[in-house]
Amino acid sequence: MTDRVLNLVIFAGVLCVVAGGAAAVGSLFGPARRGKTKESPYECGSPILNETRKKFDVRFFMLAMIFILFDIETVLLIPYAVQYERFGVAGLVIAGIFFLGLVESLIYAWKKGALDWK
Amino acid sequence: MEELFTPTKVLILSGALMSIGVYGVLARRNLIVMLMSLEMMLVAVNVVLVLFSRMHASEGMAGHVSQHTYEAAFLGAHTGQIFTLMIMTVAAGEVGVGLAILVALYRSRNSIDVDQARELRL
Amino acid sequence: MYPLLETLFGFDVFMPVVWLFLAAVVCVSIELGAKDRAGAKLPIFYAALGGVLLAFVSLFNTWGGAFEPHLILNGGVMIDRFGLFLCAGVLIGTALCCFTSLGAIDRLRIGLGDFLGLVLVAASGMLLLVTSYDLIMIFLSVELMSLAIYVLAGINRSSGRSAEAAMKYFVMGAFASGFLVLGMALIYGVTQTISLAEIGDALAAKDNAYRNVAMLGIGMVVIGFAFKVGAVPFHQWVPDVYTGAPTPVTGFMAVAVKFAAFGALGRFVVEAFPDTLGGEKFSPFGMGMFWAIAALSMVIGNWLAVTQENVKRMLAYSSIAHSGYLLMGIVAMQAYPDSLGSSDAMSAILFYLLVYAFGTGGAFALLTWTATDSNEDGGDLRGLAKRSPGMALAMSIFMLSLAGIPLTGGFIGKYMLFSSAIEAGEIWLAVIGILASIVGAFYYLRVIVLMYMKDPTPGEAEAKNADDWGVRFALLTASIATVVLGLMPNPFVARAENASVTISAPQQPAPVLNAAIPAAPSRS
């Protein structure tokens, strides 16, 4: 085992001991008084406005989907971009067709109202 | 000094990722968590592919003197990394489709718990 | 073959895929631009059908030309008659789906352009799958096919069952493709190549400690494909997804996916499996696995199909059983000691796939026709002969063919499959298969009894469907094809044999045709 790995292991071990020990000491010796105020996220501060576990609006999911697709699909252009000189005009045409597909799907999402926030 | 990331360690990492993914898909009932676990399985494969690609590159390109054979070995060894890019894009498509199905399922029965989806007999 | 495109692009393109992709783009564009959905239906239908026909024409062009099997796209796609035959089968399934969806689309509350666009994209993925020759292409085309079909299964947004089917299919499918791609990664890691032929050579030649890892990888890939074809024990999704998905989609899944997955599996087995492992014959490992999957699929598929009341669900279980018969062909292919015999087994698989395509595609088309708003499955076939004799006759033909009764295509297909299994020495597997198909005949004949001997359920309205000419045409074509395949199978068998010789014969490395792109040199 190298020094660096050993350091990491020691660091992780100390971390676990300190954090776990603090939590254990707290739960062992601390008085346990439970109540509504005690369990609220901010014990001293402004009163809670609403639930923390809110349901997300479905529009977030729609945007996430569209973002992920258009964001990641451009990754497919990387292998082409690295080697574009080998492929010449033909490669340009193929990459253009690929882009056409992306643009078509963007227009589709737009027309179907997936990009509107209302 | 010895290398920090030996193939064995990387394989163990990838195996752990794969196991977490498989466990998540099989044991969890929340569709979003299952989706995340499916992604984790693909990530594990990506790690393996990058590792193999690197191993092949270091062992395959050492002996080549001429430019041509070196390039051939280079391309062959880096197939794994291209494969990784492809898997990443496919994973994105999978997430998109999965989220779309999730939204459709939620709209039809107000829950994404897979156990409650049993209108069709198993 | 395509001088214009060759000069334009500088290299050979697999045109059928291009046609299908363009047709999909046109379909979606018409849907987007159309003012009213009903008026756009026919133009979209013709655009999709035109794409399929153009793809067919260019397939036949390639088939007819005197050509050697060759690799295109840097060794990613193999153009040989095996692939072309399977492409034709996929296109048949796609065309049947186009015709059956024409009337059924109104019940799905979605535009025909969106629907057929997805179908065409899935079909182009299938065409690539049956011709792909390296691991990356196989993975990409499997995913292109699957992602489109997950969406198609859940395309009826007003039905909870459809969404549920899509969810089940998606989770199981993505899980299986995770294993598929892990297997591919292991194979690549050991053999240092992704080309199928080089994988087989590397595994046969190498004598290293890591070969077992590659074997594990091959096992995972085979499991991934076994999932796609719905073989036991990876079949749990089949009945639910087949029942929950809209009926035209189910027909498409049953026909085209089976063609594509069995094509890719067959090619993978022939090319990537090593003939020998360090001097020993390879088959025991592979055969044991395939033997068990085939026997289980035949027995369990037929057994569970008998207990079903819903015809759509019964057909789902029967498709599991048919996967078993086809896997028996793959076992036979591996068991033959010589390549001539294994090419016989392969041609039996191809012919059986063709017969199965028309039988099952036709049966699902009929269920599309009998479906009503209250009964989406179209399961009420009671007394169909009294209501519409022609439809009942067509359904009887499909059922007889699927059961393997003489004078239909199914008999010839089953005969070829079982005889190749027996000649290969797999007597017990053939006996299991024959017993299982006798059980199978029972539930197919029960449908015929239901149609001819029972009285119709009162109040079954179907005047709405009577003018659905798309389904009528699909049914007519499928039933004629089934009878023709049974009465004069020779031209089709000859083509299937022609197709399988190119893949099973020991071959020289195929030339890579790429004018402009310098081929990435192989590492060997």
Residue A64 and residue A105 share a domain? yes
Say whether pLDDT at C412 is over 60: yes
pLDDT value of residue C8: 45
Q: Is residue A50 part of a domain?
A: no
Q: Which residue has the tokens 């193929």?
A: A94
pLDDT value of residue C209: 66
| Angle at the Cα of C208 from the Cα atoms of C202 and C214, rounded to 5 degrees | 60
**DSSP β-ladder status, C77-79 and C70-72:** antiparallel
- Is-contact C391 C440, C-beta < 8 A? no
How far apart CA C168 and CA C241 sit, in angstroms, is 7
pLDDT value of residue C515: 41
Q: Is residue C209 part of a domain?
A: no
Confidence of residue C521 (pLDDT cuts 50, 70, 90): very low
Q: Is B43 on the interface with C (CB under 8 A)?
A: no
Strand partners, B30: B113
Say whether pLDDT at C457 is over 80: no
pLDDT value of residue C359: 93
**With an 8 Å Cβ cutoff, are C182 and B48 in contact?**
yes
User: What is the secondary structure of C25-71 as a DSSP string?
Assistant: HHHHHHHHH-SSHHHHHHHHHHHHHHHHHHHHHHHHHHHHS----EE
Cα of A56 to nearest chain B Cα, Å: 11
**With an 8 Å Cβ cutoff, are B104 and C154 in contact?**
yes
- Is-contact C234 C174, C-beta < 8 A? no
Q: Which residue has the higher pLDDT, C359 or A113?
A: C359
Report the pLDDT averaged over residues C222-244: 89
Residue A102 and residue A62 share a domain? yes
CA within 13 Å, CB half, C284? 3
Q: Is residue A45 part of a domain?
A: no
Q: Is residue C438 part of a domain?
A: yes
Strand partners, C276: C281
pLDDT value of residue C3: 46
How far apart CA C110 and CA C157 sit, in angstroms, is 8
Q: Which residues of C touch B78 (CB under 8 A)?
A: none
Confidence of residue C135 (pLDDT cuts 50, 70, 90): very high
C380-to-A1, C63, C362, C450, C472 alpha-carbon distances in Å: 71, 43, 16, 9, 18
Q: What is the pLDDT of residues C248-259, one digit of tens each?
A: 999 999 999 999
pLDDT value of residue B3: 66
Cα of C160 to nearest chain A Cα, Å: 18
Q: Is residue A7 part of a domain?
A: yes
How far apart CA A84 and CA C90 sit, in angstroms, is 34
C72: phi then psi, degrees, rounded to nearest 5 = -125, 175
Say whether pLDDT at A5 is over 90: no
**CB-defined contacts A:C, below 8 A:** 26
How many independent structural domains does chain C possess? 1
pLDDT value of residue B6: 80
Q: Is B120 on the interface with A (CB under 8 A)?
A: no
What range defines the domain where residue C376 resides?
315-506
- Is-contact C404 C441, C-beta < 8 A? yes
Q: What is the pLDDT of residues C374-401, one digit of tens each?
A: 676 766 778 888 888 888 999 999 999 9
Confidence of residue B44 (pLDDT cuts 50, 70, 90): very high
Say whether pLDDT at C12 is over 50: yes
Q: Which residue has the higher pLDDT, B88 or C213?
A: B88
- Of C287, C180, C272, C258, the C-alpha closest to C223 is C180
Residue A67 and residue A24 share a domain? no
pLDDT value of residue C137: 92
- Of B105-114, C408-417, C511-520, least confident by mean pLDDT is C511-520
pLDDT value of residue C343: 82
- Residue C36 buriedness (CB in 10 A; 0-12 / 13-18 / 19+): exposed
How far apart CA A11 and CA A5 sit, in angstroms, is 10
How far apart CA C436 and CA C321 sit, in angstroms, is 8
Residue A26 and residue A64 share a domain? no
**With an 8 Å Cβ cutoff, are B96 and A79 in contact?**
no
User: What is the secondary structure of A52-117 as a DSSP string?
Assistant: SSPPPPHHHHHHHHHHHHHHHHGGGHHHHHHTHHHHHHHHHHHHHHHHHHHHHHHHHHHHTTTT--
Say whether pLDDT at C440 is over 80: yes
Q: Is residue C119 part of a domain?
A: no
Q: Which residues of A touch C11 (CB under 8 A)?
A: 90
How far apart CA C322 and CA C301 sit, in angstroms, is 8
Q: Which residue has the higher pLDDT, C362 or C77?
A: C362
What range defines the domain where residue A7 resides?
3-39
Structure tokens at C238: 């089949």
Q: What is the largest CA-CA distance in chain C?
A: 71
B49: phi then psi, degrees, rounded to nearest 5 = -65, -45
- Of C303, C312, C308, C141, the C-alpha closest to C224 is C141
pLDDT value of residue C96: 93
3-class SS letters over C203-230: HHHCCCCCHHHHHHHHHHHHHHHHHHHC
Confidence of residue C518 (pLDDT cuts 50, 70, 90): very low
Q: Is residue A16 part of a domain?
A: yes
Q: What is the mean pLDDT of chain C?
A: 83
Residue A66 and residue A97 share a domain? yes
pLDDT value of residue C523: 41
Structure tokens at C404: 């393997």
Q: Which residues of A touch B99 (CB under 8 A)?
A: 61, 64-65
Say whether pLDDT at B121 is over 60: no
**CB-defined contacts A:B, below 8 A:** 43
Cα of B52 to nearest chain C Cα, Å: 5
Say whether pLDDT at C142 is over 70: yes
| Angle at the Cα of C443 from the Cα atoms of C439 and C449, rounded to 5 degrees | 135
Confidence of residue A71 (pLDDT cuts 50, 70, 90): confident
Pick the most confident of A63-72, C306-315, C395-404: C395-404
Q: What is the pLDDT of residues C19-76, one digit of tens each?
A: 898 899 899 999 888 888 778 888 999 999 999 999 988 888 778 776 677 777 777 8
Residue A62 and residue A25 share a domain? no
Q: Which residue has the higher pLDDT, C309 or B122?
A: C309
pLDDT value of residue C516: 42
pLDDT value of residue C138: 94
- Is-contact B28 B37, C-beta < 8 A? yes
- Of A110-114, B97-101, C396-400, least confident by mean pLDDT is A110-114
Cα of C144 to nearest chain B Cα, Å: 8
How far apart CA C120 and CA C112 sit, in angstroms, is 12
pLDDT value of residue C4: 47
How far apart CA B67 and CA C521 sit, in angstroms, is 13
Q: What is the pLDDT of residues C164-216, one digit of tens each?
A: 899 999 999 999 999 999 999 998 888 888 888 888 877 777 566 677 788 88
Radius of gyration of chain A (CA): 27
- Of C343, C464, C319, the C-alpha closest to C402 is C319
Cα dihedral angle (A12, A14, A16, A22), rounded to 10 degrees?
-150
Say whether pLDDT at C338 is over 80: no
Domains located in chain B, CATH noted = 7-115 (1.10.287.3510)
Residue A99 and residue A67 share a domain? yes
Q: Using CB atoms, which residue from B2, B86, B102 is nearest to A2?
A: B2
How far apart CA C241 and CA C84 sit, in angstroms, is 29
- Is-contact C31 C117, C-beta < 8 A? yes
pLDDT value of residue C197: 82
Report the pLDDT averaged over residues B36-55: 91
How far apart CA C419 and CA C401 sit, in angstroms, is 18
Q: What is the pLDDT of residues C107-132, one digit of tens each?
A: 888 888 999 999 999 999 999 999 99
Say whether pLDDT at C274 is over 80: no
pLDDT value of residue C177: 92
Cα dihedral angle (C104, C106, C110, C115), rounded to 10 degrees?
30
Residue A62 and residue A20 share a domain? no
How many independent structural domains does chain A possess? 2
Q: What is the DSSP letter of C458?
A: T
How far apart CA C288 and CA C290 sit, in angstroms, is 6
Residue A101 and residue A67 share a domain? yes
Does the model's ipTM exceed the 0.95 cut? no
**With an 8 Å Cβ cutoff, are C521 and B86 in contact?**
no
Structural element, H or E, at residue A7: helix A3-29
Q: Is residue C485 part of a domain?
A: yes
Length of chain C (residues): 524
Residue A107 and residue A67 share a domain? yes
Q: Which residue has the higher pLDDT, B112 or C401?
A: C401
- Of B35-44, C323-332, C504-513, least confident by mean pLDDT is C504-513
Structural element, H or E, at residue C280: strand C280-281
Q: What percent of chain B has pLDDT over 70?
A: 71
Report the pLDDT averaged over residues C475-503: 88
Q: Is B100 on the interface with C (CB under 8 A)?
A: yes
Q: Which residue has the higher pLDDT, A99 or C46?
A: C46
pLDDT value of residue B97: 92
- Is-contact B121 C317, C-beta < 8 A? no
Q: Is residue A17 part of a domain?
A: yes
